[in-house]
Amino acid sequence: MSTSIAFLKGHGTENDFVIVPDPGNTLDLGPGRVAALCDRRAGIGGDGLLHVVRSAAHPQAVAMAAEAEWFMDYRNGDGSIAEMCGNGVRVFARYLQRAGLVGEGDLAVATRGGVKRVHLAKSAADGSPGEITVAMGRALLPGGAVTVGVGEREWPARHVDMGNPHAVAFVEDLAHAGELSTAPRFAPAAAYPEGVNVEFVVDRGPAHLALRVHERGSGETRSCGTGACAVAVAAARRDGVDPAVTGTPATYTVDVPGGRLVITERPDGEIEMTGPAEIVAEGEIDGAWFENLNA
C-alpha cells in the first residue's frame, strides 16, 4: 500500500476520534495500527477510532445491513475493540452528514451493541449544526455488590450495562478520583472479566450531575456517552425514580469535562442522549507510514 488514506478528526463533548472512511472494508486496521493512529505524539491522536464501513461489507454487521446501511466499527485508543461508544455514534453520524451520505432527520447506525437510532436536528439560525440525539437502548442493572477504588479511597458502585459495562460511584468530590492515569481497581474481579468503565459522580443540583470517567482501553477521557447514560440511570434509581413505574420520562443534565449532555430515560426503558458533535479537520495518512506499522 503506497497511496494515502483519507481521515478526519472529530469530537463529541471533547471525546475525540480519528475517523477513517472505508466503505468497502478494505483496510487492515489491526490493533497496532489503530493504537499508532490514536497516539497523540506519533500519530493523529484520539480517544478512539471510528472505522466507517458499509454494513454489507463487514462480517460483524452484515446481518444488520437491511436495517442500517452504515456500520461503526469502533476501536479504543489502545487498539482494542469495543461494543459501543455513545459520543462516537454522534461523531459518526456527523461525518456521514458532512460527507453528504445522510441528511437531517433520522438515521440508523449499526454497532457491535446493535442498531442505534439517531436523529440529526436542523441547523441553528446562525448556521451551526444542530445537536444529535441517539437512542442508546435500555440499561441492564445486573445487581450485586461492586466496589471501586483509587489510592486509599474506596466506594460502593452500581453496575450498569449499556451494551458495555459501567461501574458508577457517587463521591463527595471529583478530585477524590485522583489523576486516573491508571484504571481504578474494582471488586469482585468476576463482575467485569473484560474490564470496566468507571464513572465518579457528584450532584450539581436537582437532576444535574457531573462526572469524571476512566474508559477501559482509553484512560481518563473528556467525555463518555454510554457513561453519561449509565450515570443518569444510576442517579434515577438512587433518587427512587423508575420511569417504567412512574410512566414519566426522567431527564438528567450530565456535565462532563468536555461539555454537557442531556440524558432521558423513557417509560419504555429506551435511553436517549442528546449532545453536540463536530468535525474539526480532515487530511491524508501517509500510505508508506501506515504500511510499515505493526498491524
Amino acid identity, position 58: H
In this structure, what DSSP letter does residue 45 have? -
Arithmetic mean of pLDDT, 251-271: 97
Question: Cα–Cα distance between 169 and 159 in angstroms, integer?
Answer: 9
**Amino acid, single-letter form, for residue 137:** G
Q: Residue 217: is its pLDDT beyond 90?
A: no
Residue pair 146/187 in contact by the 8 Å Cβ criterion: yes
pTM score, two decimals? Answer: 0.91
Q: 234: which DSSP letter? A: H
Residue 2 binned pLDDT confidence (cut-offs 50, 70, 90): low
- The total of other beta-carbon atoms located within 10 Å of residue 168's CB is 28
Which pLDDT band, with edges at 50, 70 and 90, does 126 fall under? confident
Q: Where are the domains of the chain?
A: 5-131+278-291, 146-274
Q: What are the tens digits of pLDDT across the range 265-277? A: 999 999 999 999 9
pLDDT digits (tens, 9 = 90+) for 97-121: 999 999 999 999 999 989 999 999 9
Of the candidates 145, 74, 123, 173, which has an alpha carbon nearest to the alpha carbon of residue 276? Answer: 123
Give pLDDT tens digits for 151-165. 999 999 999 999 889
pLDDT of residue 128: 84
Greatest distance between any 2 Cα atoms in the chain: 60
CB 55 within 8 A of CB 191: no
Tell me what percent of the residues of the chain surpass a pLDDT of 90. Answer: 91
Numbered residues of the known binding site: 15, 76, 86-87, 164, 197, 215-216, 225-226
295 — pLDDT class (breaks 50, 70, 90) = confident
How far is Cα 135 from Cα 119, in angstroms, rounded to an integer? Answer: 8
Say if residues 264 and 272 touch (Cβ distance below 8 Å): yes
Cβ atoms of residues 275 and 90 within 8 Å: yes
As annotated, the active-site residues are 85, 224
Q: Is pLDDT at 216 greater than 70 in this prediction?
A: yes
pLDDT score of 163: 84
Q: Which CATH number fits domain 146-274: 3.10.310.10, 3.50.4.10, 3.90.105.10, 1.10.287.70?
A: 3.10.310.10
Residue type for 221, please? T
pLDDT at 87 over 60: yes
Fold match between domain 5-131+278-291 and domain 146-274: yes
Q: Angle of helix 225-238 relative to helix 86-98, nearest 10 degrees?
A: 140
CA distances from 27 to 15, 52, 75, 188 (A): 24, 11, 14, 39
Other beta carbons less than 10 A from residue 260's beta carbon = 16
For residue 275, give the nearest of 134, 99, 164 by alpha carbon.
134
What's residue 133's pLDDT? 97
pLDDT greater than 80 at residue 261:
yes
Mean model confidence pLDDT for the chain: 95
Q: What is the amino acid identity at position 215?
A: E
Which CATH number describes the domain made up of 5-131+278-291? 3.10.310.10
Percent of the chain with pLDDT over 70: 99
Annotated binding site for substrate: 15, 76, 86-87, 164, 197, 215-216, 225-226
pLDDT tops 60 at residue 232: yes
Q: Are 177 and 184 in contact (CB under 8 A)?
A: yes
One-letter amino acid identity for 238?
A: R
Three-state DSSP class for 288?
helix
Of 97-106, 121-130, 168-177, 263-272, minimum mean pLDDT range: 121-130
Cα–Cα distance between 138 and 201 in angstroms, integer? 21
Q: For 20-47, what is each residue's pLDDT tens digit? A: 999 999 999 999 999 999 999 999 999 9
Q: How many CB atoms lie within 10 A of CB 119?
A: 17
Per-residue pLDDT at 64 exceeds 90: yes
Cell 504500511 sits at which residue? 291
| CA pair distance 115, 69, nearest whole angstrom | 10
pLDDT value of position 167: 98
Q: What is the pLDDT of residue 1?
A: 47
pLDDT at 71 over 80: yes
